[in-house]
């Protein structure tokens, strides 16, 4: 394996991990409501930008990061409470359009509250590259990979081992039956927005030291995360992770070996290809309803 | 005091009165069956009694609580559980997890405590798992303790729904055609299961076409026809009520032959027509 290949692979895994976190956010909300939340990218932006302004006002990372995550989660909860819930009973398409509106609104608000400039966050632990098999990896990339792994493990514990997680899974499969065993499905939807927003914020904070952040960083990251979720199969947790990593690697490989001009196009080519040839994605539900 | 009180209950779908001005009381500890020809409004009534439908008029009170207009999860939290004529199983989980989800109301720990006290939670989860397994054995699903829900046969899934409903610790259990689609042996085993449910102190509301089962287990029968109450009373009285026989078979047949064989053939005809 050439050092160059190794370098692309490591970079790909790093961006891929970010896409995976965004894709997980899409999947969690999709499972609770079958809504594709196009404001997911804005949660990523809020995480990064809030951390920038909190550290700018003198707070250390130890405080600024948790506060930024909480802020994004609150925005997510507010979005559900004030934009999605009032439209309850509306069709899924209507709800999706509401989330598109919300994303434009949040982006505009960010531009007013903060500004239109690019901001950099300091890397969490220095910026001396570490050499691995001839390639160089930034310490921040290790943070990205480590935190993503920890989150994936925590989520699989949450959905696999806690009753609240099972209640959310149950709701995703059959709302009626879930309600009739006493699960408040509206509460599940509310929580899923908070959880997705927090995941998005973590992604935005982790990537900000590498790629910079600004009020509109959520547009591209949101779309890439969406592509990753589609590739993995909407609603599948493992699919979101694999889809994110695969998309990240595909992107850096094509940028490296073909042309970096096509880097962003890869995600959209993948969306189209998946929708044409395997609409349920790699790990999505297949086939019809059992009767 | 009655467990469930229904007062002037109506449900309209457009111009159709699926349930019309229905009033009855259900006493605790009894098996209360609801029968009637196809389209009589039996399933609509169960949907009203579990909060799936909101009534167009009338009231539903359970114990001291007026549940009219409340969402389904509140019906469940007050102790009304149900099963479905067409299965509503969580096919994305194992059989055991299906029953565990039924424990949600009783083992719920908030998101924060789920994150903070993971060790206590792990113990609670083991206890929950064990209780769920116990309920599966109780309904006769010993062989499916480690099965995935989507790999189970139909008859077992029907029992799984009963186990999941039991996990919510109901006071009142609504069974919607539990014998439909079962073979005669499985249907016979239901008698026993329903008997044990009442033995546990669960009041059972049974909607069923299998007259052998209904006549065997019921204390009280409500007969619906076109959404209205046609007859109500102790099982023995209802089975000899000429109005009931007429509703099932038409008046000409009402005067000869035993009711039970008549009902059996009526059910056979009904089943034939549904195909």
Tens of pLDDT, residues A172-192: 888 889 999 889 888 899 999
> Is B100 among the domain residues?
yes
Three-state SS at A178: helix
B42 and B116 share a domain?
no
B residues 233-272 near A, CB within 8 Å? none
B130 and B35 share a domain?
no
What phi and psi values does residue B205 have, to the nearest 5 degrees? -110, 120
Substitution target in A66, A69, A175, A177 with the highest count of B β-carbons within 10 Å is A177
- In whole angstroms, give the CA distance from residue A250 to residue A256: 10
> Is B84 among the domain residues?
no
Give the model's pLDDT for residue B108: 59
pLDDT at position A227 over 60: yes
User: Residues of B168-199 as b/e, b for ≥16 C-beta within 10 angstroms?
Assistant: bebbbbbbbbbbbebeeebbebbeebbeebbe
B residues 33-92 near A, CB within 8 Å? 50-52, 71-73, 75-77, 81-82, 84, 86, 88-92
For B74, name the nearest residue in chain A, comparing CA atoms only. A182
> Is B85 among the domain residues?
no
| Domain that residue B158 falls in | 90-167
Domain residue ranges of chain A, discontinuous segments joined by +: 15-125+139-277
Reported as a single tens digit per residue, the pLDDT across B156-203 is: 999 999 999 999 999 999 999 998 888 888 888 888 899 899 888 899
Nearest to A163 among B81, B89, B104 (CB): B104
> Between β-strands B31-35 and B16-26, what pairing exists: parallel, antiparallel or unpaired?
unpaired
N-terminal to C-terminal alpha carbon distance within chain A: 51
- In whole angstroms, give the CA distance from residue A202 to residue A38: 17
B123 and B200 share a domain?
no
Number of independent structural domains in chain B: 2
Q: Which fold has domain A15-125+139-277?
A: ABC transporter involved in vitamin B12 uptake, BtuC (1.10.3470)
Contact residues on chain B for A163, CB-CB shorter than 8 A: 100-101, 103-104, 107-109, 125, 128
Token digits of residue A78: 């507010």
Domain boundary among B135, B152, B167: B167
How many CB pairs (< 8 A) connect A and B? 93
B153 and B109 share a domain?
yes
B59 and B96 share a domain?
no
B154 and B177 share a domain?
no
What phi and psi values does residue B136 have, to the nearest 5 degrees? -65, -40
B148 and B112 share a domain?
yes
B187 and B270 share a domain?
yes
B154 and B265 share a domain?
no
At A281, the pLDDT band (50, 70, 90 cuts) reads confident
Domain boundary among B139, B167, B195: B167
Closest CA to A28 of A251, A281, A278, A225: A225
pLDDT at position A116 over 60: yes
For A177, name the nearest residue in chain B, comparing CA atoms only. B88
Q: What is the ipTM of this complex?
A: 0.77
- In whole angstroms, give the CA distance from residue A238 to residue A90: 30
Give the model's pLDDT for residue B255: 46
CB proximity B165 to A under 8 Å: yes
B8 and B39 share a domain?
yes
B153 and B198 share a domain?
no
Q: Mean pLDDT, chain B, as a whole number?
A: 83
If you ran DSSP here, which 8-state letter would residue A124 be given? T
Q: How far is the alpha carbon of B88 from chain A, nearest alpha carbon, in Å?
A: 6
Question: Are A21 and A148 in contact, with CB atoms under 8 Å apart?
Answer: yes
CATH number for B190: 3.40.50.300
Q: Are A179 and B102 a contacting pair at CB < 8 A?
A: no
B68 and B108 share a domain?
no
Domain boundary among B134, B167, B200: B167
CA distances (Å), origin B209, targets B39, B180, B267, B268, B271: 12, 8, 7, 10, 9
């Amino acid at each position: 394996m050439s050092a160059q290949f190794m370098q692309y692979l490591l970079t790909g895994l790093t961006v891929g991990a970010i896409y995976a976190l965004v894709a997980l956010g899409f999947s969690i909300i999709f499972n609770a409501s079958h809504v594709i939340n196009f404001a997911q990218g804005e949660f990523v932006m809020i995480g990064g930008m809030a951390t920038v302004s909190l550290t700018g006002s003198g707070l250390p990372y130890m405080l600024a990061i948790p506060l930024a995550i909480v802020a994004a989660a609150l925005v997510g909860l507010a979005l559900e409470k004030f934009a999605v819930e009032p439209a309850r009973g509306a069709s899924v398409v209507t709800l999706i359009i509401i989330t598109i509106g919300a994303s434009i609104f949040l982006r505009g608000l960010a531009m007013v509250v903060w500004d239109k400039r690019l901001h950099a966050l300091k890397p969490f632990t220095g910026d001396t590259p570490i050499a691995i098999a001839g390639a160089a990896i930034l310490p921040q990339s290790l943070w990205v990979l480590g935190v993503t792994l920890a989150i994936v493990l925590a989520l699989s514990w949450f959905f696999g081992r806690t009753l609240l997680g099972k209640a959310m899974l149950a709701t995703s499969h059959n709302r009626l039956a879930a309600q009739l065993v006493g699960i408040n499905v509206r509460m599940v939807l509310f929580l899923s927005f908070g959880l997705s927003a927090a995941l998005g914020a973590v992604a935005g904070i982790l990537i900000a030291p590498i790629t910079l952040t600004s009020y509109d960083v959520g547009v591209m990251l949101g779309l890439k995360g969406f592509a990753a979720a589609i590739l993995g199969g909407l609603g599948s947790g493992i699919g979101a992770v694999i889809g994110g990593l695969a998309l990240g690697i595909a992107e850096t490989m094509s940028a490296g070996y073909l042309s970096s001009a096509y880097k962003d196009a890869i995600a959209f080519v993948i969306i189209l290809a998946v929708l044409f040839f395997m609409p349920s994605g790699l790990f999505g539900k297949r086939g019809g309803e059992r009767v | 005091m009655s467990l469930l009180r229904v007062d002037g209950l109506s449900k309209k779908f457009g111009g159709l009165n699926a349930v019309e001005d229905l009033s009855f009381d259900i006493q605790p500890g009894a098996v209360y069956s609801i029968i009637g020809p196809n389209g009589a409004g039996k399933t609509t009534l169960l949907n009203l009694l579990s909060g799936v439908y909101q009534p167009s008029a009338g009231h539903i009170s359970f114990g001291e609580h007026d549940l009219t207009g409340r969402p389904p999860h509140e019906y469940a939290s007050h102790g009304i559980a149900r099963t479905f004529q067409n299965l509503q199983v969580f096919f994305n989980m194992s059989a055991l997890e299906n029953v565990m989800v039924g424990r949600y109301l009783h083992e719920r720990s908030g998101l924060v405590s789920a994150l903070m006290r993971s060790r206590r939670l792990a113990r609670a989860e083991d206890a929950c798992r064990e209780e769920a397994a116990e309920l599966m054995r109780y309904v006769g699903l010993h062989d499916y303790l480690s099965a995935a829900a989507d790999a189970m046969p139909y008859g077992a899934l029907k029992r799984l729904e009963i186990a999941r409903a039991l996990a919510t610790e109901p006071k009142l259990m609504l069974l919607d055609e539990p014998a439909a689609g079962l073979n005669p042996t499985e249907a016979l085993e239901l008698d026993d299961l329903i008997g044990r449910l009442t033995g546990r102190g669960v009041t059972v509301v049974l909607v069923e076409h299998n007259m052998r089962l209904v006549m065997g287990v019921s204390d009280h029968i409500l007969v619906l026809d076109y959404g209205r109450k046609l007859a109500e009373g102790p099982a023995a009285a209802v089975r000899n009520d000429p109005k009931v026989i007429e509703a099932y078979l038409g008046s000409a047949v009402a005067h000869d032959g035993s009711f039970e064989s008549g009902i059996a053939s009526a059910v056979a005809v009904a089943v034939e027509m549904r195909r």
